């Protein structure tokens, strides 16, 4: 008897691609959803470049987070689901519902389809954004913490992730019918690219390598390697103790943007010669935020807020061992350079 089929939503994404790769390498058959099936060829080429020819063990189905069509068919016959797909806009949305509705409604569509298909467990990719925003703690954030959605300054993305995860737990509690849920809450995901699609974290490193950030704001965030986040998804999918639990995925203490810049310069040498470790004064960031919605949403609420988080639970319960943050950042830069994705910059 072969390995069960696993459904991975959002197969064209950075993390989803690595989850598919890890599953195929572990011997599973994979079904994945895409809004545009035309991207299947790019996914197969990326997997092949990583040393994995998927063949018939990978099937692609068309489905959209904002529509019912396709989800039931995608889930039928699958024993596990990794719900990785989530909307993320590079620019600040005009209204927060542009992110909140697809995140929450899409999560509920996937959970309903999984329940109706008799899936045993869904692993939801949430985010540290659902745990550590809207307030400051004097201790590391843990899985018992939740982002304060009542904070008027909270950006749309952390609000969308928080409300989507809350909706998932409520659904399983009230309507799950025995469906198990495990949630992975990654910090900023870095590491090697499988193809040219760039997540927000990867775009940050790209901008730094191109010299597009002559100085960096006083922001800090966690770093974790995409390969380790994929590994944690597989552990959460299979480990009996992971049912109905949350797991923070972080490689260690949070880093300032200046520390990230210094790591890139140290690890990449001349290739990081345009990376600036100068720090922007807070007043200047706030001034720019008066004219930039993106700066106002992303930078100002978290400016100068110290924070960190603990992945002790994932390590103790699931035996998860993440790579050092510096390795993840170096792998990001190395793959951007190898794929020819670092431009001339300024």
Considering the domain boundaries, does residue 125 fall inside one?
A: yes
Mean pLDDT of the chain: 92
Considering the domain boundaries, does residue 137 fall inside one?
A: yes
Q: Residue 334: what pLDDT?
A: 97
Say how many domains are in the chain.
1
CA atoms within 13 A on the CB side of 241: 8
Considering the domain boundaries, does residue 346 fall inside one?
A: no
Determine which one of 94, 159, 161, 313 is catalytic.
161
Answer yes or no: 161 catalytic. yes
Domain that residue 51 falls in:
5-198+223-254+308-334
Q: For 64-92, what is the mean pLDDT? A: 88
Considering the domain boundaries, does residue 141 fall inside one?
A: yes
Residue 293 has pLDDT above 90, yes or no: no
Task: Find out whether 244 and 236 touch, Cβ atoms under 8 Å.
Answer: no
Instruction: For residue range 196-240, list pLDDT tens digits in order.
Output: 888 889 999 999 999 999 999 999 999 999 999 999 999 999 999
Considering the domain boundaries, does residue 28 fall inside one?
A: yes
Higher pLDDT, 302 or 96: 96
Residue 99 has pLDDT above 60, yes or no: yes
E-state strands within 187-333: 188-190, 220-221, 223-225, 245-249, 255-256
Find the CATH number of the domain harbouring 92.
Answer: 3.40.50.720
Q: Residue 41: what pLDDT?
A: 95
Considering the domain boundaries, does residue 341 fall inside one?
A: no
Residue 66 has pLDDT above 70, yes or no: yes
Considering the domain boundaries, does residue 279 fall inside one?
A: no
Considering the domain boundaries, does residue 261 fall inside one?
A: no
Residue 298 has pLDDT above 60, yes or no: no
Q: For 56-65, what is the mean pLDDT? A: 95
pTM: 0.94
Task: Categorize the per-residue pLDDT at 4 as very low, low, confident or very high, splitting at 50, 70 and 90.
Answer: confident
Q: For 294-309, what is the mean pLDDT? A: 73
Instruction: For residue range 5-26, list pLDDT tens digits in order.
Output: 999 999 999 999 999 999 999 9
What b/e readout covers 161-197, taking b as 16+ CB neighbours within 10 angstroms? bbbbbbbbbebbeeebeebbbbbbbbbbbbbbbbbee
For Cα atoms 73, 53, 60, give the angle at the middle one, nearest 5 degrees: 15
Q: For 316-331, what is the mean pLDDT? A: 98
């Amino acid at each position: 008897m072969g390995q069960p089929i696993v459904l991975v939503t959002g197969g064209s994404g950075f993390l989803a691609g690595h989850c598919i790769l890890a599953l195929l390498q572990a011997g599973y058959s994979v079904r994945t959803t895409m809004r545009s099936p035309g991207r299947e060829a790019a996914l197969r080429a990326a997997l092949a470049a990583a040393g994995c020819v998927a063949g018939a063990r990978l099937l692609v189905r068309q489905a959209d987070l904002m529509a019912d069509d396709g989800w039931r068919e995608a889930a039928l016959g699958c024993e596990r689901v990794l719900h990785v797909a989530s909307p993320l806009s590079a620019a600040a949305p005009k209204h927060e519902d542009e992110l909140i509705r697809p995140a929450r409604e899409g999560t509920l569509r996937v959970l309903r389809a999984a329940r109706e298909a008799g899936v045993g467990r869904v692993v939801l990719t949430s985010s540290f954004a659902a745990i550590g925003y809207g307030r400051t703690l004097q201790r590391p954030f843990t899985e018992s913490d939740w982002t304060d959605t009542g904070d008027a300054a909270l950006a749309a993305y952390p609000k969308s992730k928080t409300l989507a995860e809350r909706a998932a737990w409520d659904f399983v509690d009230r309507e799950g019918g025995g469906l198990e849920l495990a949630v992975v809450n990654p910090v900023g995901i870095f590491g090697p690219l499988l193809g040219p699609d760039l997540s927000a974290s990867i775009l940050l490193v790209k901008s730094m390598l191109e010299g597009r950030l002559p100085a960096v704001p006083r922001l800090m965030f966690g770093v974790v390697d995409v390969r380790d986040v994929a590994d944690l998804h597989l552990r959460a999918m299979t480990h009996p103790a992971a049912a109905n639990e949350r797991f923070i995925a972080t490689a260690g203490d949070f880093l300032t943007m200046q520390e990230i810049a210094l790591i890139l310069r140290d690890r990449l040498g001349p290739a990081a010669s345009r990376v600036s470790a100068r720090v922007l004064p807070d007043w200047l960031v706030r001034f720019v935020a008066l004219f930039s919605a993106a700066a106002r949403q992303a930078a100002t609420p978290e400016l100068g807020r110290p924070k960190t988080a603990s992945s002790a639970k994932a390590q103790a319960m699931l035996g998860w061992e993440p790579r050092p943050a510096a390795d993840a950042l170096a792998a990001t830069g190395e793959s951007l350079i190898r794929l020819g994705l670092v431009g001339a910059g300024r």
